[in-house]
Amino acid sequence: MIQNWKERFSEDCKNFEGYPIGKTLKLLSDPEIISLAGGLPSPDVFQKSGLRNAVTKILGPETIDRVMQYSAIPGESSLIHAVMNFLKRDGINVCEDNVLITTSGQHGLDLAGRLFLNPGDLVMVDRPTFAGAFVAFGLNRPEYIGVDIEDDGSNVNAFRQKLEEIKKSEGKFPKFIYVVPDFQNPTGITMSLEKREKLLDLSYEYDIPVIEDSPYRDLRYKGEMIPSIFSLDQKREGTNVIGLYTFSKIFCPGMRVGFNIGPAEVIKKMCNIKEGNILNTPKLNQDICCAFLNDMGLEEHLEKSRNYYREKLNLFLETMDQYFPPETGVSWTKPEGGLFLWATLPKHIDTDELFYEAIKYKVAFVAGWQFYGEDPSTNNMRINFSYCSKDQLEEAVKRLSKCIKEQL
């Protein structure tokens, strides 16, 4: 009988534990707890009747057979074309060959990691950055070169310095630079136009691809849209950037549909991997997302979502001001969009320990260490402001302040 499973697991998986967040979310089953931990969009902006209408149509007599059958691995042509139009609004022009429909943003990350990373390969990232990227890439056991993020996004000068050091020492170059330039998860920070251009300079100079992850891009509540790195690259050679997108934040997470864009050679190889890895994305879910783009009043919906989340963000920031005056030594980012902000506590407070304390106060967040590939910071927390009701948001800040003041 087999007892020693662990020693049979592959080197890639032996020590792979998945999402650290998952483990802590399990502790939040108490309904009294107000959770600022998850990254959930609010059902208040879900297009429920839009979804119902779309499904009725999709399951009509003319189409239901094809919906229930296998479908094309790169994705439904109708959705690919809807995506191409969606991107055109944003100054991006791509052909069918440049688009792969994925089974979620996480799947998009997995395809990217799997395509490029051998064990021990390097990835250049912000410190902190999206935990899900570490989880996806982690399946290939890379190492990370991290640089502390600044108020206007990646510290591109420090990226350059690191690359220059590698060049001088004839070391291994990173396989790619991974960034979330708009309303980054976990910090909510947005990269300036100047830095986007500088990052592209770097990409061309050192011949390193940029992976631009854009789940929140259309959720801007203040200020002006900044061109995506992908669109900026299209004004150069259009060869150096791979874009990752998902319907999870702009429509809803439940469909598990996203898309990757990039050079045809990259997209084709990602499609090959997808063939081995899950075959096709369900046509039902793709057709629903296609209807979301084409038939549910896209711009109006996005405007409504932005108005909705803007109110929550403003309320949250005001309440933070009220409960965390400067003398508490607590500071936080002021995002212009997205779902998250990032709070920094006095150095001596370990937010991993604080998490368990906070649960006693019936409030939860994600401890900051989970957003680092190496050498984590210990006094940060990621706070989600999109999901809870306004009343809950205020109450959550009140509870947090009680809990934190106890530690001060």
What strands lie across the sheet with 99-102, from one edge to the other?
Answer: 99-102, 258-261, 241-246, 210-213, 176-179, 122-127, 143-148
Cβ distance to a copy of itself smaller for residue 152 or 173: 173
Binding segment toward a copy of itself, per CB under 8 A, in 185-193, 214-222, 252-260, 352-360: 252-260
């087999």: which residue's tokens? Answer: 2
| Contact string 165-194 vs a copy of itself (x = CB under 8 A) | ----------x-------------------
Interaction of residue 6 with a copy of itself, rule CB under 8 A? yes
């920031």: which residue's tokens? Answer: 317
Cβ distance to a copy of itself smaller for residue 22 or 346: 22
Residue 356: CB minimum distance to a copy of itself, A: 22
Interaction of residue 46 with a copy of itself, rule CB under 8 A? yes
Q: Check if the beta carbon of residue 58 is closer than 8 Å to that of residue 289.
A: no
Cβ distance to a copy of itself smaller for residue 190 or 258: 258
Q: Is 17 helix (H, G, I), strand (E, B) or coil?
A: coil
Interaction of residue 19 with a copy of itself, rule CB under 8 A? yes
Interaction of residue 311 with a copy of itself, rule CB under 8 A? no
Binding segment toward a copy of itself, per CB under 8 A, in 89-97, 159-167, 265-273, 301-309: 265-273
Interaction of residue 11 with a copy of itself, rule CB under 8 A? yes
**Residue 223, amino acid:** G
Residue 121: CB minimum distance to a copy of itself, A: 8
Calpha distance 290→294 (Å, rounded): 6
**Residue 352, amino acid:** D
> Among residues 114, 195, 220, 399, which is the contact residue for a copy of itself, using CB under 8 A?
114
Q: Of the candidates 213, 181, 221, 186, which has an alpha carbon nearest to the alpha carbon of residue 336?
A: 221
Q: Check if the beta carbon of residue 389 is closer than 8 Å to that of residue 348.
A: no
Interaction of residue 135 with a copy of itself, rule CB under 8 A? yes
Residue 4: CB minimum distance to a copy of itself, A: 8
Interaction of residue 95 with a copy of itself, rule CB under 8 A? no
Residue 277: CB minimum distance to a copy of itself, A: 5
**Residue 103, amino acid:** T
Q: How far is CA 40 from the centre of its chain?
A: 12
Interaction of residue 59 with a copy of itself, rule CB under 8 A? yes
Interaction of residue 140 with a copy of itself, rule CB under 8 A? yes
> Among residues 77, 85, 93, 277, which is the contact residue for a copy of itself, using CB under 8 A?
277
Alpha helices, DSSP H only, in 296-389?
298-323, 351-360
Interaction of residue 52 with a copy of itself, rule CB under 8 A? yes
Calpha distance 330→346 (Å, rounded): 6
Q: How many CB atoms lie within 10 A of CB 40?
A: 16
Residues β-bridged to residue 101:
259
> Among residues 76, 121, 182, 213, which is the contact residue for a copy of itself, using CB under 8 A?
121
Interaction of residue 34 with a copy of itself, rule CB under 8 A? no
Instruction: Tell me which residues in 196-215 interact with a copy of itself (CB under 8 A).
Output: 204, 207, 209
Give the DSSP H/E element, type plus range, for residue 123. strand 122-127
> Among residues 158, 278, 315, 317, which is the contact residue for a copy of itself, using CB under 8 A?
278
Q: Is the peptide bond before 186 cis (omega within 30 degrees of 0)?
A: yes
Q: Of the candidates 105, 90, 95, which has an alpha carbon nearest to the alpha carbon of residue 260?
A: 105
Cβ distance to a copy of itself smaller for residue 44 or 321: 44
> Among residues 67, 225, 302, 359, which is the contact residue for a copy of itself, using CB under 8 A?
67
Residue 383 has phi, psi (to 5 degrees) of -120, 130
């932005």: which residue's tokens? Answer: 306
> Among residues 285, 319, 351, 386, which is the contact residue for a copy of itself, using CB under 8 A?
285
Binding segment toward a copy of itself, per CB under 8 A, in 36-44, 178-186, 350-358, 372-380: 36-44
